[in-house]
Copies of this chain bind each other. A is one copy, B any other.
Amino acid sequence: MKGHQVTIKDIAKMLHISPSTVSRALKDHPDINPQTKKNVQELAQKMNYKPNKVALSLLQQESKIIGVIIPEIIHHFFSTVISGIEKVANDAGYHIIICQSNESYLKEVENVQALLSSNIDGFIISMAKTTTRFEHFKNIEEVGVPIVFFDRACEEVKADKVIVDDFNGAFKATIHLIENGCKNLVHFAGPQNLTIGIERKRGFLTALKEKNQILHDYTIQYCDTFEHAQNLIPELLLKHPEIDGVFTVNDATAIGAMIAIKKLNKHIPSDIALAGFTNSFISFMTDPELTTVDQKGYEMGQNAAQLLLNRMQTYDDYDPVTTVLSTELIIRKSSVRK
Contacts and interface: CB of A to CB of B under 8 A. Distances in A.
A337 interface: no
A74 B63 contact: no
A45 to B, nearest CB: 14
A59 to B, nearest CB: 10
A119 interface: yes
A299 to B, nearest CB: 14
A83 B54 contact: no
B61 A58 contact: no
B73 A76 contact: no
A30 interface: no
A334 to B, nearest CB: 12
A114 B53 CA distance: 9
Interface residues of A, number: 54
A166 to B, nearest CB: 22
B285 A255 contact: yes
Interface stretch (A138-146, A172-180, A186-194, A201-209): A138-146
Given A3-B143, A57-B54, A95 B114 contact: yes
A326 interface: no
A61 B2 CA distance: 11
A320 interface: no
A213 interface: no
A155 interface: no
A54 B63 contact: yes
Interface stretch (A19-27, A97-105, A125-133): A97-105
A2 to B, nearest CB: 4
Contacts of A2: 144-145, 315-316
Contacts of A117: 5, 50-53
Contacts of A65: 97
A116 interface: yes
Interface string A68-82: 000011101001101
A286 to B, nearest CB: 6
Counting chain B CB atoms within 10 Å of each CB, which of A2, A63, A83, A96 scores highest?
A2
A99 B286 CA distance: 31
A38 interface: no
A65 B120 CA distance: 14
B262 A116 contact: no
Interface in A215-242: none
A116 B5 CA distance: 8
A55 interface: yes
Given A79-B73, A79-B79, A315-B2, A50 B113 contact: yes
Nearest to A288: B287
Given A79-B79, A100-B83, A116 B50 contact: yes
A48 interface: yes
A12 interface: no
A175 B337 CA distance: 42
6 contacts: A1-B316, A2-B315, A3-B143, A5-B117, A50-B113, A95-B114
The 9 residue pairs across chains A and B that have the minimum distance between CB atoms: A2-B144, A287-B287, A50-B117, A3-B144, A74-B79, A97-B97, A53-B118, A54-B119, A73-B79
